[in-house]
Structure 1
Amino acid sequence: MDIIRLADGGYEAKLAPLMNRSAFDADIDRSVAEILAAVRSCGDAALSEYASRFDHVTLTPVQFQVTADEIAAAAGLIDDATRAAVDVACRQVTVFSRERLPKAWQFSPRAGVMLGEQFAPMDRVGCYVPGGTAPLISTVVHTVALAAAAGVKDIVVVTPPGKDGRVNPALLYACKVAGATEVYRLGGVYAVAALAYGTATIPKVEKIVGPGNAYVTAAKRQLYGEVALDLVAGPSEIMIIADDSADARYIAADMLSQAEHGSGREQAVLLSTNAALLPAVAAELKRQSATLSRAACVEAVLAKGVFLIEVADLAAAAALASRYAPEHLELMTRDAEALAGRITAAGAIFLGPWTPEPVGDFVAGPSHVLPTGGAGRYFSGLTVEHFFRRMSLVRYDRAALLAELPHIRQFALCEGLDAHGNSAAIRAE
C-alpha cells in the first residue's frame, strides 16, 4: 500500500508507474499464442487436453456443451433469494439496453441525395464468463441480456467448470433467464480460441465479449480480426475521488470490493484533497480486509495494488483520473455531478456516497464489462450497440450525381483510379 503526499519529493515520478500501467504482459502473450495455435490446428482434441490441464476435469467433445436438462434443473438447485436477484438484475439490464437500441434513420442533406444508416443484429456471438473460485453470475446478465435485447439469434456462453465438471447452478439459471442459447463448460484461453476459430463441436462466433483475467485479455487481443471484440477488460480496478465530506469506511469497503477478485493484479486508488483521509482509509483497509472470506486474495492487492494519493484540489483529481482512465470511478464529493462533467476518460462513474461500485456490478443497468489498464482512453464499456452491424445508406438521383461528377472525377484522377472515375462518368453520357 503506497501513500503519496503532495509534500513528498518526486510526486510526479511516484505517480508515473500508476499512470503508465499496461493491461499486457509479454510472457503472457507468448504462452497464450501457443494455446491459440494448438486449438486452431487440433480443435476439440486440444480443448480436451487443456480442460484437463487447466481446469482439472476430463471432458470428451460430447461433454463440452451443458445439456438442456442441466440448465432446466439449475433453478431447483438455488434458493429463492438468488433467483430473485438474477431476475431483478436481468430485468434492469434489459430495460437499460432497450433504451439504447439503435434505430434506422435517413435525411437529405442536399437536393437529390439521401443518406442514413440501418442496423441488423449479429447472428452468433460468444460471451466469456469467468468462473473458478468466483463464478461471475452477474457477468452472464451483463453480456447475454444485452445480446438478447439486441435480437442476436445464437448467444453462446463459455465458462470454466468446477473440478466435478459441473457449472455453477446459479450461473446456469442466469444463462436461461438472460437468453443464452448454448453453454459450454470450457474456460480461459482455450475457450476463447474455440469461439474464435470454431471446432467440430463448437461453431465459430462473429464477436466475443466479456471480461477475463490477463490471459483471456491477451487472447482476445491476439484474436482481433478472426472475430470482432468488445474491448480490453482485464483485472479489475477502482479509483475514488474524495473530499473532506467522505467517509473512510465507505471508501475502504469500496476499494476492497475490487481487490477481492483474486488475480492479484487488481488496483484500488484513492485521490483525496483531505490529507487526513489517507491514513484513516489505510487503517480501515487493514481492519476490514481481516474480516473478509477472500482475505488471501486481498492481501496481494493491498501489498502492491493500493495507492492513496493526496491531490491539491478537485480539478487536479479530475485531471489525474482522466489520465488514469479507471474502469470504475467513484466520486465521493459534495457536488459529484459537477465533478463528473470534468472527467474525460473512465469506464463508469458512480456519483455520491450512496452509489457504491457493486450496484454497477450487479443491478443498476449499464453493463459492468468495462475497459481496464488505461484502455478507457480509447475504449468504452459494453453496450447493446456492440451487438449490431451498422450499414450506411446512400442514394443519389441523376441530377445529384451529375452535380458532383466533377469532384468524383478529380478524386479519381488524383488517386490514379480510372475505373472509379469512369463508373460515375459513364452515367453522364
Structure 2
Amino acid sequence: MSSRCDQVLVGDLFNKVEKDYSHDRRTAASRIFYSLDEGSAYNSYLKSVGRKSGEDLDIGARFPIKGIPIGIDIGGSGYRAYTETEFSQVFNKWKREYSEENNTTDDLSVKDYYATYVRDPSSISAWVECTKQGGASEVISYGFRDASGFVLIKVDWEPSIESAEDVALLTISPPQGVEISVPYKKNMIISQGEGITFTVRTSLETGFSIPVNVRLIDRDKFPRNPSASKLDSLPAKGNYTSIVVIPERLPLVPTLDVTVNLRGLGDQKYLDNEFAGTRDVTLPLDGLRIDLNPKFPGLGLRYFAHVSAFGDTKSVSDGNFVGKLSVDGQPRWMEGFSVELVGALAGEYDVKYTGFLGKGGPQVPDGGEGETSICSNGQFCGTRGEYRPMTTVRIWIDKKLP
C-alpha cells in the first residue's frame, strides 16, 4: 500500500478520534501513531494540537494517544506544543515504552487496524479506490466483539481489473481454540465486493489475530468439480493476505455525557473523560449535568455543586442540572462539585473527577490557578466560600480491579 493511500485512513482516523473518545478508536489511533515515522507522527500531532505558544492548549481530549504528553509547561504561563526537534528527541522513547507495555510485536498495516477498530465503510471504500488506481488487489477484513462479547469477522474481496476474472479462494487460519462457523470452509470461493460475515466460536477473552488469505486461480485452469485436495494443489497466480485483529473482551464500563453551562456560551456537551469547559477564567461554569450513556442497569449517579453566593445545591440523580444560572446580577458560578455512584453495581466501579480553578486555594499545589487533584466517589472537588470560578471539569468511570 502506498503511503499516499495510507494517509486517507490516518487522516480520517485522527479526525474521528477527536470527536469520538471511544476505546476502540483510541486503540487504533495509538497503534497507528506509533507505527509512523517521526516526521509523519509530528505532522499528525500538530494537526491536532496546533502550534500555540504561551497559552493553554486545552487539548486534553483532542489528542488522546496513550502515553504521550500533550505539550510543555512554560513556567506557569501556559502550555505550548513540542517543536519538531523536541518531539524527535522523545518520540522513539514513547514508542518503545508503548510497545513494551502493549506487547506490540505484530506487523500489521494501517488498513488492518483501521478496518478492525474503526470500521467506517465510506473511508475504507476511499482507500480501496486509491489502491485500485495503482492497479492493486486487496482483501479487507476486520473483527469485532458485539455488545455480548461474541466474536465476528467480515471479509471483503476487492480485486484489481486484471484479477477480477480469476477465481478467488478464501482461507481463514484461526489460532488454537478458535473456530470459524459455517458458511465458512477452507478454499471457499469468494466473489468481488462480497462482504461475508462469519461467527467465530471461542472462549478466549484476550485479544488475538486471524490471518485471512485470498488465493487467485486462473479461471481457465480451474477444474469443474475439484476435490478439496485438488484445490490445495492448484497453482496460484497471487496471494493476498489481511490480518483480522480481535479486540480483547473488555469489562463493561459505563460512559458519561457531560453538559456544562459556560457563562455567555450556554450549554456545551462533552464526552466521557474529556475536559469539559475552558481554561479561560472569564468563562466560569454556571452549572453541570451528567448522563450515563447508555443507561446502565444497577448503576446511577448522585452529584451536587457548590455555587458562589449561594452554597451547596441539593444532590440530584444523573440527567439533572445542578448550579444557579446568573440571571439576577449576582456573581454566581460553580466553585466545586461532588459525584458518587449509586445502585447495586456501585461497588464495582470508581467515579473520578477533577476541575480547573481560578487563582489561589488549598487544592492547587502552587497556590495559583490550575487543575485540582483527582477526587473520587463522593469526595468534594474544588473550594467553598473563596469565590474562585471553576472553569473546567473532567469526569470518568473506571472498573475496579479484582
- Common fold by TM > 0.5: no
Report which of the two has the higher share of helix: 1
Which entry has the higher C-alpha Rg, 1 or 2? Answer: 2
TM-score, length basis structure 1: 0.23
Report which of the two has the higher share of strand: 2
Q: Greater RCO between the two (CA within 8 Å, min separation 6)?
A: 1
TM-score, length basis structure 2: 0.24
